[in-house]
Structure 1
Amino acid sequence: MENFCINGPKVLFIEPFYGGSHKELIDTLSGSLDERGIKYTLVTLSARKWHWRARCSALILCDRIPRISTQTVLFCSSVLNLAELLGLRPDLCGLKKIVYFHENQLIYPVQQIKDRDIQYAYNEITTRSSFLESIIKILKIFPDNKPMGIRERIEGKSEVLYFPVKFPLDIQMNLTSELEESILHIVWPHRWEFDKGPDDFFNVMLKLKQSKCKFKLSVLGQTYTDVSEIFNKTREELNDNIVHFGYVESKRKYLEVLNSSHIVVSTAKHEFFGVSIMEATYCGCLPLLPRDLVYPEIYPTECLYKDLEELYCMLEQFCLHPKSAVDLRSKLRFDFEKYSSEVLLPDYVNKLEINVDLRYIHTGVASGLLLLYQTLLCWVMVVVAVGGGGFIKPRAGVLLGRLRVLSKVFLKSSENRQ
């Protein structure tokens, strides 16, 4: 028998890939609930082999997720195959379900569309995708029985919420004279994976070195089990330029590296926000980004390049005149508040709609109310029997009637949830 507490957890967080921005989002949201005194349940898997997480996390997690007691909301990322989990755990079906899409696997870069794993696409179609244009292309791959009206059904349930970035309050944008006079410091703070375009980035860095440009380099970001050979190869060739190479565990030290850099570069092939770029820009870096993906939506045109040759030319000039990078960054205006967790978290919490819903009260409460009803009935019968019913009987009768109705409602609701 499960214990019930009216102040029990209200939200069930499920994250099969608990690392990077996925971890940061869950930690930010759960931290906000902590501040509000709202309890939650957190179920996670480590951030390894995301393809396997997308394929198998529902099966792995179905036995790890506790039985539902007071939770009313399920919040997960699109790495989880939610439809499959609900089939394995039908007791979760009664919860309000919110799926957050950090990215859109429908357009993950592949050489040919036939190479795309249609299962990932199907997962996204059947849960949530704010990238509705991609759905029709994926459905055309189906050999027959193409689902109809999918886009329209999803569109009505979709909404875009920017990632809530926790900007450091004790670190200010670094535009000091010391930075102006130093050697250009370039930072690349991304996951060490194919979709972040490391080959393109390092090829540009090697070209700068061959051109005798003076620069310093920090390569940050999280690594996983499979790391491209380009990282080890380039580390040897750029050894004299490297200041930092590898993941920085301390968030404080990570931000200090960003704060000491002139320029942050992205060569991503797949990006839908870019937390690390936003953090680096906040710390004072001038962002140089592809004129593609999400970047034109967020950053001014002065920060965008059309191809790798233009990126090289921009960096070459900044290597010759580091002060020009500082000057350009000082002139740019960014609305960081628009992406701040302080501004966005209330919207997230409102979407969770956390409240005590009588439909989700545990069966134990219904049983308790029924027992209370029976006890009071016996008490009233005794009082009436000894002659005290003139005042008590009509009022007790009203109370008992209400308790009886309420207990039946709870019992019926509990039975419907099984």
Structure 2
Amino acid sequence: MIIHLLPDSPKKEGRSFPRLCFKEAVREKKTTRFFLTEPGVKAFEKSLLDLEGEGLSHGLLGISSTWDTCGQWLCSIGISTGESGKADSLKIWDSMSTLIIEAFYGGSHKQLVDLLQEDLEDCVLYTLPAKKWHWRARTSALYFSQNVPVSDNYRILFASSVLNLTELTALRPDLGKLKKVLYFHENQLVYPVQKCQERDFQYGYNQILSCLVADVVVFNSAFNMESFLTSIRKFMKLIPDHRPKNLESIIRPKCQVLYFPIRFPDVSREHDKDPESFFRSLLRLQEAGLSFHVSVLGETFTDVPGIFSEAKKALGSSVLHWGYLPSKDDYFQALCMADVVISTAKHEFFGVAMLEAVYCGCYPLCPKDLVYPEIFPAEYLYSTPEQLFKRLQNFCKRPDIIRKHLYKGEMARFSWAALRGKFRSLLTTEPREDL
């Protein structure tokens, strides 16, 4: 027989190899599931010797181990049976029932799946690095179809909407049978682009198709959900003829809102955050002779807009921190030193970084648009760049106003502690007889 062992992640503490259960599986030639880390190979060899001592003639043909392309340690062990000499097939897998796939493993996408993997005892994670987003959206389904091992034990598939779920389930019908949960960090139907003609219809179209094959569609905010669902009809009008109908009414019953659970830092510097408006306000404060310090923190996944280097030079000694802080502690320390956190975003479906800053004591100033009215009370919202400038001008003259201020919104509902149970419920299901 040929036995393939898919181990637990090597980053986690492994369990001892369950020899008694293994021997029973070999005797009965039945499928059993185990965790296995690299030291478990020695125990596996001992089990084979035990079997031979019991009169079961099994010859060890060889053991080889390697790292697969998804970062899992794999062990392949060949055994010949003394009865017929034929190579029977027995697969012994780990006990992972939740398969998590993240095609863009960075930022908030990484934070979420890391939390889930840390909290769920029976999940396995496959990822691609957070680079070249457009290519991840176009091609990751084919990659994962070839690199996610087949397992009879999977019951749930959790993926972000970067993945083309339709393609994956077509290429891997075994995954199509699972309970499929699709999580939207952002949606491509209303995602801003620098030039209208640059929008690739396929990205939004793929997300619509993924919703149609998913069993549950989860959004990180009501704004994200409603902006997606109510844009489907207009978006599909881009098709010149023979347009599909009633897609919103088909997809909406599957949808729910489950806020992003905040625990770790996540910020980004992209054109959709409108850095021009942000820096214009700061430079006006500087021209007015007002004293302030600024920290510009964030991870960059694309080219950095030119305004960043120009503003850094112009702001000079007013800059305290500039760029990405890889240490979580350093990041939170920088937030705790600040008085105000500002968003000038043209696009935001949740706003992890803003809430993290508020948690650290910052006074938030956000556009009265996008997801912000759903998250923040009205007093923290502004409608125009001029309103933003006047409020910042007042704060520079009277910093005591914000330093004595107590935030009037609710933070607990966005915490992992509050949302943990809902995510666990989402990722549980009764075993299906057809799997």
TM-score, normalised by the number of residues in structure 1: 0.76
Aligned partners of 2:270 and 2:302 also within 8 Å: no
> What SS does the aligned partner of 2:137 have?
helix
Shift in Å at residue 334 of structure 1?
2.2
Aligned partners of 1:197 and 1:268 also within 8 Å: yes
Q: Which amino acid aligns with 1:20?
A: G
Matching residue of 2:91: none
Partners of 2:301 and 2:251 in 1: CA distance:
33
Shift in Å at residue 112 of structure 1?
6.3
Percent identity, aligned pairs only? 45
Q: Which amino acid aligns with 2:411?
A: F
Q: Is it true that 1:338 corresponds to 2:413 in the alignment?
A: yes
Matching residue of 1:303: 380
Q: Is it true that 1:19 corresponds to 2:96 in the alignment?
A: no
Aligned partners of 2:363 and 2:402 also within 8 Å: yes
Matching residue of 1:201: 278
Mean CA deviation greater in 254-263 or 334-343 = 334-343
Aligned residues: CA RMSD: 1.8
Which structure: greater strand fraction? 2
Q: Is it true that 1:52 corresponds to 2:80 in the alignment?
A: no
Shift in Å at residue 283 of structure 1?
0.9
Partners of 1:64 and 1:307 in 2: CA distance:
49
Matching residue of 1:166: 263
Matching residue of 1:30: 117
Partners of 2:327 and 2:210 in 1: CA distance:
35
* Residue deviations 1:9-35 (CA, integer Å, cap 9, x gap): 0111100110000000111111111xx
Matching residue of 2:244: 147
Q: Which amino acid aligns with 2:33?
A: C
* Residue deviations 1:308-346 (CA, integer Å, cap 9, x gap): 11111110110111111223x31x322212111111111
Which structure: greater helix fraction? 1
Q: Matches of residues 53-132 of structure 1 in structure 2 within 5 Å? A: 53-110=136-193, 114-128=197-211, 130=225, 131-132=228-229
Question: Structure 1 pair 114/197, CA: closer, same or farther in 2 (3 Å)?
Answer: same
Residue among 304, 312, 333 paired with 1:256: 333
Partners of 1:276 and 1:204 in 2: CA distance:
20
Aligned partners of 1:19 and 1:46 also within 8 Å: yes
* Residue deviations 1:72-129 (CA, integer Å, cap 9, x gap): 1110000011111122222211111000000121001136655421111111212237
Aligned partners of 1:58 and 1:85 also within 8 Å: yes
* Residue deviations 1:120-144 (CA, integer Å, cap 9, x gap): 1111212237221111110111101
Residue among 389, 409, 419 paired with 1:312: 389
Partners of 2:175 and 2:203 in 1: CA distance:
22
Mean CA deviation greater in 346-355 or 253-262 = 346-355
Shift in Å at residue 59 of structure 1?
2.1
Matching residue of 1:182: none
Aligned partners of 1:68 and 1:92 also within 8 Å: no
Q: Which amino acid aligns with 2:427?
A: L
TM-score, normalised by the number of residues in structure 2: 0.73
Partners of 1:324 and 1:143 in 2: CA distance:
56
Q: Matches of residues 227-266 of structure 1 in structure 2 within 5 Å? A: 227-266=304-343
Residue among 358, 366, 370 paired with 1:289: 366
Shift in Å at residue 50 of structure 1?
1.1
Matching residue of 2:83: none
Aligned partners of 1:266 and 1:290 also within 8 Å: yes
Partners of 1:39 and 1:94 in 2: CA distance:
18
Shift in Å at residue 225 of structure 1?
4.5
Aligned partners of 1:10 and 1:354 also within 8 Å: no
Q: Which amino acid aligns with 2:425?
A: N
Query: What are structure 1's unaligned runs of at least 5 residues?
Result: 169-188, 361-418
Shift in Å at residue 190 of structure 1?
3.6
Partners of 1:111 and 1:226 in 2: CA distance:
13
Q: Which amino acid aligns with 2:241?
A: D
Name the larger-Rg structure.
Answer: 1
Shift in Å at residue 356 of structure 1?
4.4
Q: Which amino acid aligns with 1:67?
A: V
RCO higher in 1 or 2 (8 Å CA, sep ≥ 6)? 1
Partners of 2:433 and 2:142 in 1: CA distance:
30
